[in-house]
């Protein structure tokens, strides 16, 4: 019997913890484990916290699951209710909520009772979301629910994302467990490192378990509504501040986009920045396909631009033209550093940077938006002018987050050695500091009327182009990205609700303050009654230009945020029933 097969036959009376960075293959390992044990007629309870039970079943079927007896495979869906996703009435599914660990305990017990057999395998994928919502309470849950379940003659395998919390908490989780398997990726190879186990000696196994890939964005001009795109480009060039949203305006408070970004980061700190950098860069690198939508005078100016941007004098000319056309989005005050730039190595200084303002001295370089869009735009620029088609990259060398008075971005054609490290450098300590500062600003605004964020020259608002990149094309990015927005939003909304309640605010006043926040941040025009309706939600307003044939509600962050808030304040959940991304005139949520 192979060592991998032995690992997937989880011994009775054991709680095995599967640890690894996001995307390292833990879910695939769990799926293989489920299929292997089903073949042996071993009953399975599959707990999902990062996707719904229907997705879990689809993925098992993709890997070979055929018909299975109803009492052999049961699901505990702890994702749908948490994220505000539609709940279907299915006989083998019980729903729970990551906010409420007792609800997961009750759901597991119910499914176990329905199976009415010993030696059940509980697959818990994963503990990351419950941990992020409940903190140290997860240790009691592991002891009183998972370990107790195993002690009754059953088996448990649970996953935990490495890097998504305090390192000392992960150590505590490992100490509670009977066995620990770490998934590691080195030089493109994947290894299972058995640290401790009830049946297998410590060993390191090379395994063919494919990690989940980062999905690339497929983007071309056919995705655009030509008429709408031309009108939008003309409005952007002339500085029209209310073209997409006539009543609200096409600007969003910078604080809201920061909240969206860092909430997603908190849920998946290792992969979310890389996904976002690559998606934003990819979108901008295809911008030459839509340059035809620019007004004629802008297209004529392009003809006087250089074709190759390697030399300093050519880059200076191109950046002056490019950056001046983006002044209306207020993403930062930029300056090309001619003195320190050289051939194929260019530097741009940014004041009042969209990514970093308000986070002075948090201990890390933070900019993701401007580096990624500048890198992508330079590639597109050269291709449009008939120059070389080469991939550009950009990384911060100075940052407000590091205590510098401004940010500086290094831009080169080709690879940048320090880029990978920069995209994966944010640890839990820094993320906690950022989250604490965000919540401090938010509660200062709600309780004491203090400003959320303000920049001396650019003010508090940013344009829709920058806001769109904050959400990062989740409909095209894939499920992992969507889940980061949903669950990050749910956690942020829950914290806002809890802070208001802790400050002594009653339900009615808390909701009033919450609606004031949405209005001030220009998220959308909100009407609250038996349902909650939002016109012009900034998360999806740009879909007016991108007719993507979206068939399901797609306000991932907004739905998660609303769900987290109302679950904390009213013990109610929301479900999005209408969405402007699907062609509806507004987005709408029902309470349940």
Residue-level pLDDT at 229: 59
Q: Is the pLDDT of residue 87 over 50?
A: yes
Least confident of 363-377, 468-482, 505-519, 555-569: 468-482
Residue-level pLDDT at 222: 53
For 59-84, how does the pLDDT look when each residue is reduced to its tens digit (9 = 90+)? 899 888 877 777 899 999 999 999 98
Residue-level pLDDT at 234: 65
3-state DSSP call for residue 315? helix
Residue-level pLDDT at 328: 79
- The whole-angstrom separation of Cα 171 and Cα 577 is 42
Q: Is the pLDDT of residue 347 over 90?
A: yes
For the chain, give the percent of residues with pLDDT over 90.
Answer: 56
For 231-274, how does the pLDDT look when each residue is reduced to its tens digit (9 = 90+)? 666 666 666 666 678 888 889 999 999 999 999 988 888 788 88
Residue-level pLDDT at 242: 67
- 145 vs 223, higher pLDDT: 145
Q: Which of 559, 560, 562 is nearest to 578 (CA)?
A: 559
Residue-level pLDDT at 552: 81
Residue-level pLDDT at 282: 84
Residue-level pLDDT at 469: 81
Residue-level pLDDT at 557: 94
Encoded tokens for 189? 């190879």
Q: Is the pLDDT of residue 477 over 80?
A: no
Confidence band, pLDDT 50/70/90 cuts, at residue 298: low
Q: Which residues contact 376 (CB under 8 A, 6 or more apart)?
A: 280, 281, 282, 283, 284, 285, 286, 287, 392
- The whole-angstrom separation of Cα 53 and Cα 92 is 10
Which residues share a beta bridge with 551? none
Residue-level pLDDT at 488: 92
- The whole-angstrom separation of Cα 37 and Cα 74 is 13
Q: Is the pLDDT of residue 403 over 90?
A: yes
Across 172-199, average pLDDT: 88
- 234 vs 314, higher pLDDT: 314
Containing 198, the helix (H) or strand (E) segment is none
- 312 vs 468, higher pLDDT: 312
Residue-level pLDDT at 1: 40
Residue-level pLDDT at 564: 94
Across 477-506, average pLDDT: 91
For 242, 289, 383, 589, the CA distances from 229, given in Å and listed in that order, are 15, 12, 21, 29
For the chain, give the percent of residues with pLDDT over 70.
Answer: 89
Domains in the chain: ranges and CATH: 3-206 (3.40.50.300), 216-243+270-426 (3.30.1380)
Residue-level pLDDT at 428: 81
Across 551-565, average pLDDT: 91
- The whole-angstrom separation of Cα 131 and Cα 434 is 18
Residue-level pLDDT at 266: 85
- The whole-angstrom separation of Cα 435 and Cα 259 is 9
Q: Is the pLDDT of residue 444 over 60?
A: yes
Encoded tokens for 403? 């205590």
Q: Which residues contact 474 (CB under 8 A, 6 or more apart)?
A: 481, 482, 485, 554, 556
For 258-270, how does the pLDDT look when each residue is reduced to its tens digit (9 = 90+)? 999 999 988 888 7
Q: What are phi and psi of 124, to 5 degrees?
A: -110, 105
3-state DSSP call for residue 271? coil
Q: Is the pLDDT of residue 92 over 70?
A: yes
Q: Which of 301, 318, 293 is nearest to 374 (CA)?
A: 318
Across 9-25, average pLDDT: 90
Q: Is the pLDDT of residue 205 over 80?
A: yes
Average per-residue pLDDT for the chain: 87
- 339 vs 8, higher pLDDT: 339
Across 340-361, average pLDDT: 95
For 97-140, how does the pLDDT look when each residue is reduced to its tens digit (9 = 90+)? 999 999 999 999 999 999 988 899 999 999 999 999 999 999 99
Across 202-211, average pLDDT: 73
Least confident of 4-13, 184-193, 286-295: 286-295
Across 453-469, average pLDDT: 89
Residue-level pLDDT at 356: 92
């Amino acid at each position: 019997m192979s060592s991998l097969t032995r690992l997937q036959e989880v011994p009775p009376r054991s709680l095995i913890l599967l640890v690894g960075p996001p995307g390292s293959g833990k879910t695939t390992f769990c799926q293989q484990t489920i299929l292997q044990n089903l073949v042996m007629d071993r009953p399975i309870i599959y707990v999902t916290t990062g996707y719904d039970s229907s997705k879990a079943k689809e993925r098992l079927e993709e890997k070979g699951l055929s018909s299975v007896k109803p009492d052999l495979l049961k699901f505990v869906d702890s994702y749908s209710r948490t994220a505000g996703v539609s709940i279907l009435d299915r006989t083998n599914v019980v729903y729970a909520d990551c906010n409420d660990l007792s609800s997961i305990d009750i759901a597991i017990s119910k499914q176990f009772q329905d199976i009415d057999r010993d030696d059940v395998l509980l697959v818990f994928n994963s503990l990351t979301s419950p941990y992020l919502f409940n903190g140290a309470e997860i240790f009691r849950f592991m002891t009183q629910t998972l370990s107790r379940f195993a002690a009754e003659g059953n088996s448990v395998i649970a996953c935990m994302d490495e890097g998504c919390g305090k390192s000392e908490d992960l150590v505590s989780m490992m100490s509670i467990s009977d066995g620990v398997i770490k998934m590691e990726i080195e030089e493109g190879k994947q290894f299972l490192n058995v640290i401790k186990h009830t049946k297998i000696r410590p060993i390191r196994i090379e395994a063919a378990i494919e990690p989940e890939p980062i999905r690339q964005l497929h983007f071309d001009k056919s995705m655009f509504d030509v008429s709408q795109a031309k009108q939008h480009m003309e409005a952007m060039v002339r500085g029209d501040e209310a073209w997409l949203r006539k009543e609200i305006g096409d600007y969003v408070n910078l604080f809201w986009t920061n909240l969206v970004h860092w909430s997603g980061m908190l849920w998946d700190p290792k992969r979310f920045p890389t996904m976002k950098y690559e998606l934003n860069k990819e979108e901008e690198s295809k911008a030459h396909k839509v340059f035809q939508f620019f007004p004629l005078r802008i297209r004529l100016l392009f003809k006087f631009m250089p074709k190759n941007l390697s030399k300093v004098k050519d880059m200076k000319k191109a950046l002056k033209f490019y950056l001046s056309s983006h002044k209306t989005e207020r993403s930062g005050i930029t300056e090309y550093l001619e003195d320190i730039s050289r051939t194929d190595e260019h530097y741009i200084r940014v004041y009042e940077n969209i990514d970093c303002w308000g986070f002075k001295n948090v201990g890390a370089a933070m900019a993701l938006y401007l580096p990624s869009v500048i890198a992508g735009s330079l590639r597109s620029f050269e291709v449009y002018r008939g120059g070389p088609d080469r991939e550009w990259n950009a990384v911060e060398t100075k940052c407000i987050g590091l205590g510098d008075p401004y940010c500086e971005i290094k831009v080169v054609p080709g690879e940048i050695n320090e880029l990978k490290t920069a995209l994966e450098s944010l640890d839990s300590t820094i993320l906690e500091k950022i989250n604490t500062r965000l919540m401090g600003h938010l509660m200062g605004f709600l309780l004491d009327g203090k400003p959320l964020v303000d920049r001396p020259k650019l003010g508090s608002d940013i344009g829709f182009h920058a806001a769109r990149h904050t959400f990062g094309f989740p409909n095209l990015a894939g499920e992992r990205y969507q889940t980061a927005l949903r669950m990050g939003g749910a956690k942020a909304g829950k914290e806002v609700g809890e802070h208001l309640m802790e400050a002594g605010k009653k339900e009615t006043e808390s909701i009033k303050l919450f609606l004031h926040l949405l209005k001030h941040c220009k998220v959308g025009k909100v009407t609250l009654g038996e349902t909650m309706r939002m016109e012009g939600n900034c998360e999806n307003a740009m879909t007016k230009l991108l007719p993507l044939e979206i068939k399901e509600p797609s306000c991932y962050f907004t739905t998660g945020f609303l769900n987290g808030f109302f679950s904390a304040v009213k013990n109610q959940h929301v479900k999005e029933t209408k969405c402007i991304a699907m062609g509806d005139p507004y987005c709408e949520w029902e309470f349940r």
